[in-house]
Structure 1
């Protein structure tokens, strides 16, 4: 089997008419040819939007029944225009005879799965088990975006706690964390946070709750915090256990056993809701209410000024208590600073390039940073990222004042565009039209492409490109591939990376583009935000911008027969396994002959009308052939220009009795897939836009 034997065939009808779709034809999609699947995008489409849905047939195009194992397809290249999206649609119920109206119904089913393409926003290093992507969802339907700029917002996660995080390299249940600056003289000085997975299997595929678990059974020995998680709780490999703690650099605890005067320094303040005292003559411990009042039995018995630390007694106060009562106050030594920060934007619908961060150092020096299209945040003394769900992670090279941090961002509202007159009814698309394009326990294809342009190429010319590439191709000025099975136009030496131009180059015109592709398949273990966790590491590194495509696995493609049997009485039931006929059909010595080109997925019945005459009926194609036992049975697939199957006359023997039938099923070396393209309203400077569909497998 050659590379040229893998083709993607068109159906009987392309377009948006209700009867578009149908069976596979022998018309192959021409690689590089403009508008060979979708029509060109017109000015009207750009003005009012467009949505197209087509069916295609990845197929093994051989005259025999050669098998292609583990065939799969994926979108290898996405249009550069951000207003144009293409997606593969997988449905277990798509059939060869499905028409457009059937396909639209299938797209609303719970079994549907969408496959798309994204890009790495961080380099992948060998050995890692994560792929950080630009996005894990895509817009299925045309949308209009409304942008509203939000300015001067404060992170919602301001906290008095610092943190240490510990990565789990298995199922982490116990912890020992050294915290040199932990505040030891205050009991409420720490708590844990981790993700707890709930489900039947306790595996990464289960859903999870993110719990804040207050440590009440941990021990503090010196500066080491130790303990274990509750029964049944653990942190999965690759996840983190977060220990939040109060630092003795930021806080001190004043015990009232040393006197009621808090003796605040010039930069010190009292932390609200941490001051504990008692009313004289009462054993009840009272904590301030956060606005400076101590309330007992509905009455204010004292007040405190958080800035000065002065307590004004309205009724007599008792400042003495036991160690466990912890009478006293938590004092903040200075304005809080931090070197790392994580918070979430108020909305998950936003422009990743719109984030603008401001912060000040303790000395009052102002810093700022901004994000790019991939969500990378860079600036003076600030770096970080924002993922597709709106989680912002920041690192500061100098400590910054926590209350000085603010940010701006553009909130984006997407509105589905109504269908134009005569267009596909988009009301049948999934709600919102914004769908996941990656899936747990599904394969993804990681690809890094290198393209070089050459004005001319000549016979005998040698060029050095990427070595050990999984794919090498040259296209000419018309986008046509120079690949040929006999290497008439070029050859490639995998070990050296050398491309040698052959005489056939004279049949093409420049400029030429040489493309090399490094590619690997890997299984997605879990999806966390816009990060894919993979089951095993890739064998080579990949740079930012490498494509990651969700893969639609078609399975083995080969023309085969199964369930061959005779029936004593044909009752229009293709699934009938009743009493056998009076005679047999000898497919042992004269097996049914198939070709990958002509065979379709169908259940067949050869029904005898006399002892010699019969007709052939397919479950979905109906009656297609009339014949008799004196000639080979060769019903022709007009769409493919090849027989559906061939049953030699010798197999019939003396034939069957009238009303008896021979039944069997054929499987095909092609499988129908759906492909969508949406065009959202707007203007673009991109003259040509294209998608590339990858189709691969292994020859047995």
Structure 2
């Protein structure tokens, strides 16, 4: 129920003398008890409505209204009414709204059982500030963070509107329709209400001074018109979060930033590229008995490892994984020494496919369907760096008289007659043993030599009378093999054979970015996962 304050148009005073022209009997009825025939009715009102501009038709300026209802003081803030604002904290109770065009205030929260007299304390009106139904502006700092823009406006008839843009920059409500460009910070909003024109309301709509027959349009065999929602231009304000980027230092970054975008971000998904959908899960093993096989909840997994209750990784030699069927088998010699139960299997399953379409909203479409079920809580979608086929090899073989203390790829100093015949006896390298390294072999006499790497240092000594095959301690395979038949004659103390080995790997730049903040943990870590396809022998 809504109550309206009484409005008085005029008061006229008059004095009249009544005379009796005929003798009549006058009958009088009276009561001697004031409580007789009396009743009290209690009404519960959900809203109080008061017209602050009664008697004149002018627009109210934003933030100028102040009035009291009983002991409560109400203030206007961009179309909303706040009750009993604390001057120390500037906070109050939101209690209604005000219509700047009509002067009507609607109060939906007040102190009950109090005097409802209304006292207007402050009000400013104008006839020069014309209302608008469209705003457009550009933020001073760009780009904006997605979904960070909020626009607040005060309307003349509907109170305050609070507008938020979605991830695509679209603002869409029943009264506001707009778009924001996150990159350049340009905002454009139209205020109108889609209204169907019927026989009952056509006369009323056509009576407005903004009406134009060209504004009508047809939709689904019905006629509509966008009725303007008038906005006080002085009430418009917005809040947004913008990015500010510091210049990228090429020395700190480790690569040239000339071709990088200003924010340092580059697209990771492209049409025709390779994408990977990956889900990582954990499953607690019911026991830890040697020789026991445990089934995981998923099959066709891509990776798995076992940890104990304290996060200590179980040695890979203590269990085996059946990736096709998703099974973990503890070895026959498995022991819990140094481990704490329960054991947890952490595994991952994936789908890899070619990307067919990439949308600006983040939707990625593949050329083939996914073969696993994925949950949003533990699934990520990433792009893949395609390495293609790789093979270890050696390059830049040459000889020189003495070691120059420089890792150059061309000989220096005086030429010598001794050489190694790699045309008939090439240096042998394998994918398993070779590493990315510069090597030199320096003779200590006519038959013996030492082998030194730029990063590994001296790894072994050898002689021209036997095959030289220094062992890579990580893989157990030789770094390379130099056949004894390839050595020519004429070697002297200090002579050098130089060559490089190219490993069967792919150089990847790993740049980790941490935003400026207080540290949440003492240490952190990450893993790099390599996916490989091999030729299986059936």
| Alignment TM-score, normalising by the size of structure 1 | 0.36
Larger radius of gyration: 2
Pick the structure with more strand per residue: 1
Higher relative contact order (CA 8 A, sep 6+): 1
